[in-house]
Amino acid sequence: MASTLCCRAKVIRNCNFSSFSSSTLRRRLPLVGAFCLLSLGIPNLFPTLSFSPPFGASRAQSLLRSKFGGQARAEGLHSVAMGGSSSSSSSTVPSIVVYVTVPNKEVGKKLAESLVREKLAACVNIVPGIESIYQWEGEVQTDSEELLIIKTRQSLFEALTEHVKTNHPYDVPEVIALPINAGSLKYLEWIKNSTRD
């Protein structure tokens, strides 16, 4: 894992970023960092730390305090045990981030609005300008797409997946979920309060 990340870092370092405007880089670099953190997870990014499953609240708070200079509590950061309960109260529920790709902005906006209207999602971010390279029916395909980043309750994943399948133009839409292990307490409460039971 570490050697793969190092090789990718070398490729990124040698990449010619002059074709990107500085505002484009400022907008997309935080997204890349968040994507890496969500995709790889804290245990993979910090392999020297020992994590016992499930990712315990006290361990998460200590990690956040060490990484953010003791500000975890002051900033209202909150760890969530994915087994169904939160670390300090029942004001939050196990939550997930779901990725769905769409062919264009119109499809993405329509799908995002219907997910929020049906209370299947608290929030949907639409990330424009991604390029997907994949294999379909024995051929390598390349398409311009947009990415929906959906925040919702873990318990709504099946209903959300069925909604996407029903309202998506692709035969096999991408619907993948990653757990939210920690976050702002107020934001996690908002996810709970903005979605259906």
Do 120 and 98 form a contact (C-beta atoms < 8 A)? Answer: no
Residues 103 and 186 reside in one and the same domain: yes
Residue 87, in any domain of the structure: no
Residues 171 and 135 reside in one and the same domain: yes
Distance between CA atoms of residues 14 and 176, nearest Å: 31
pLDDT digits (tens, 9 = 90+) for 132-187: 999 999 999 999 999 999 999 999 999 999 999 999 999 999 999 999 999 999 99
What phi and psi, each to the nearest 5 degrees, are found at residue 24?
-65, -45
* Residues 6+ away with beta carbon under 8 Å from 79: 55, 56, 57, 60, 61, 64, 86, 87, 181, 182
Q: Give start and end residues of each alpha helix (H) in the chain.
A: 2-14, 22-45, 57-67, 105-117, 157-167, 185-194
Residue 85, in any domain of the structure: no
Position 43 confidence tier, pLDDT thresholds 50, 70, 90: low
For the entire predicted model, the pTM comes to 0.62
Residues 71 and 134 reside in one and the same domain: no
Q: Is the pLDDT reported for residue 56 higher than 70?
A: no
Residue 48, in any domain of the structure: yes
pLDDT of residue 79: 72
Residue 82, in any domain of the structure: no
CATH classification of the domain holding 169: 3.30.70.120
Residue 80, in any domain of the structure: no
Residue 83, in any domain of the structure: no
Q: Is the pLDDT reported for residue 106 higher than 90?
A: yes
> Domain count of the chain?
2
Residue 47, in any domain of the structure: yes
Q: Which amino acid is at 83?
A: G
pLDDT digits (tens, 9 = 90+) for 64-85: 445 444 444 445 666 765 554 4
Give me the chain's average pLDDT, please. Answer: 76
pLDDT digits (tens, 9 = 90+) for 110-130: 999 999 999 999 999 999 999
Residues 174 and 102 reside in one and the same domain: yes
Residue-range definition of the domain harbouring residue 180:
95-194
Residues 130 and 188 reside in one and the same domain: yes
